[in-house]
Amino acid sequence: MLRIKPTLLAVAILASAQASASDDDLHINGFMSVGVGMLSTDDIAVSGFDTDANFSNDTVIALQITKQINDKTSATTQLVSRGNEAYDTNAAWAYVSYAIDSDTDVRVGRLRTPFFYYSDFLEVGYAYNWVRPPEEVYRLDAFSSVNGIDVTHRFTMGSTDGSVQTYFGRFGGPVGLAGEIYEFELKNFGGVVLNLNRGNFGTRLSYHRADVYSDLDATGSRALDGLLAAATFFGRGDDFDIAGQTSQFIEAAGTWDNGDYAVVAEYTALRQDSEMILDDNAFLISGAKRFDTTTVHLTYTSQRDLTEGDTLQKTLKSNVEVHEQSYILGARYDYDTGTAFKFEVQYQDEKTITGVDGKSGMLYSAAIDLVF
């Protein structure tokens, strides 16, 4: 995937289109994506689409407002309206930043959770070549923001530029799983991210963990309630109880980009102390070729749940197991400053869906992405 290095990308997207409102210390920037997608069959499920043209799922508009309070302190908020949420406006970012020195910043407030390579620009479609990041890997939308604090330190070692980010906070709110709503709370939620860039090569490693709580109820009617009830019936309720259990998420990404050709690979692994939520592995590998203002890209992605355990655990887990993969072929045309048109086709192969054989089909997508 043809990329701009993260430091340059931040400048390009969040600073290049700066507009001065009342003085030089107040900046208002924005981005917008208008997309349409349609499945070839209703037998598969991809990103909430169906066989009718959907103009909402990939449509998003946001404004980012930054005020420099003094030489050390600034305040930032990013207000986002998403088509798949009936265009309700939410604060994806709302934090105060303090510069300890020229290389170290502290931010406090509502922050983007840095799970993935593109997390800081997850909804800025202009920042990547896909219409949307592949959901097999980029699959933790519900936990994409955290209320807390982070510290980022930038450094240089010879010809290598790098940064280390650590964060700590808390999350609470509704989470949709397989069409049902659960209340989740993540306590002691934190992690560390290491970024290294040298010449055409880049590397990102991250680790995240949290103590998980939810409103699961063995007498309830939701799928996970039923799983807890079944485990309790067989005397294994403690194994499937989620309250206070630790969840860990590991991510590694590598990139190479010489301006004409580019490759990005990203791997993620989710590990749970509780047997209630399945461990999984996911990865993507993507290559791109730029022809002047047009970029052609091809991506393969895969995600698979793990069902290790004794016979009973395997039996219960197999009822919710998912294994799917996809192939994405697309093109991006940067037809003017800050504007890009994208079109892609995605072949979705659902190997296993909730424990049974899945189906396959196509998703056709197009989008216009802007930064301003």
Q: Which of 264, 20, 235, 13 is nearest to 121 (CA)?
A: 13
Sign of the CA dihedral 110, 114, 120, 124?
A: negative
Q: Is the pLDDT of residue 20 over 90?
A: no
Q: pLDDT at residue 232 above 60?
A: yes
Distance CA 256, CA 279 (A): 29
Q: Give residue-wise pLDDT tens across range 173-199.
A: 888 877 788 999 999 999 999 999 999
Contact 37, 56 (CB under 8 A): no
pLDDT digits (tens, 9 = 90+) for 72-84: 999 999 999 999 9
Per-residue pLDDT band for 355 (boundaries 50, 70, 90) equals: confident
pLDDT-above-70 percentage for the chain:
93
Residue with tokens 């390009």: 12
Q: What is the pLDDT of residue 99?
A: 97
Choice between 103 and 141, residue whose per-residue pLDDT is larger:
103
How sure is the predictor about 6, in pLDDT bands with cuts at 50, 70 and 90? very low
Question: Given a cut of 90, is residue 260 above it in pLDDT?
Answer: yes
Highest mean predicted confidence (pLDDT) among 23-32, 218-227, 330-339, 346-355: 330-339
At residue 310 the predicted structure's pLDDT band, cuts being 50, 70 and 90, is confident
Residue 13 pLDDT greater than 80, yes or no: no
| pTM, 2 dp | 0.89
The β-bridge partners of 269 are: 250, 281
Q: How far apart are CA 216 and CA 211, in angstroms?
A: 15
The burial class, CB within 10 Å (0-12 / 13-18 / 19+), for 306 is middle
Reported confidence tier of residue 329, pLDDT bands at 50, 70, 90: very high
Residue 250 confidence (pLDDT): 98
Q: Are 2 and 342 in contact (CB under 8 A)?
A: no
Number of residues written out for the chain: 372
Q: How far is CA 226 from the centre of its chain?
A: 29
User: Following DSSP, what letter does each residue of 150-217 receive, concatenated?
Assistant: EEEEEEEETTEEEEEEEEEEEEEEEEEETTEEEEEEEEEEEEEEEEEEETTEEEEEEEEEEEEEE---
Model pLDDT, residue 1: 41
Compute the mean pLDDT over every residue in the chain, rounded to the nearest whole number: 91
Find the angle CA(38)-CA(270)-CA(304) to the nearest 5 degrees.
50
Helix (H) or strand (E) holding 224: helix 223-233
Residue 111's nearest CA partner among 19, 193, 31 is 193
Output the pLDDT for position 263: 98
Question: Quick check: 110 pLDDT over 80?
Answer: yes
Rounded Cα gap, residues 284 and 303, in angstroms:
9
Mean pLDDT of 319-329: 91
Identify the band that residue 23 occupies on the pLDDT scale cut at 50, 70 and 90: low
pLDDT at 19 over 70: no
Predicted pLDDT of residue 3? 39
- What pLDDT shows up at residue 311? 82
Whether the per-residue pLDDT at 38 is higher than 60: the answer is yes
CB 232 within 8 A of CB 192: no
How far is 142 from 189, CA to CA, in rounded Å? 14
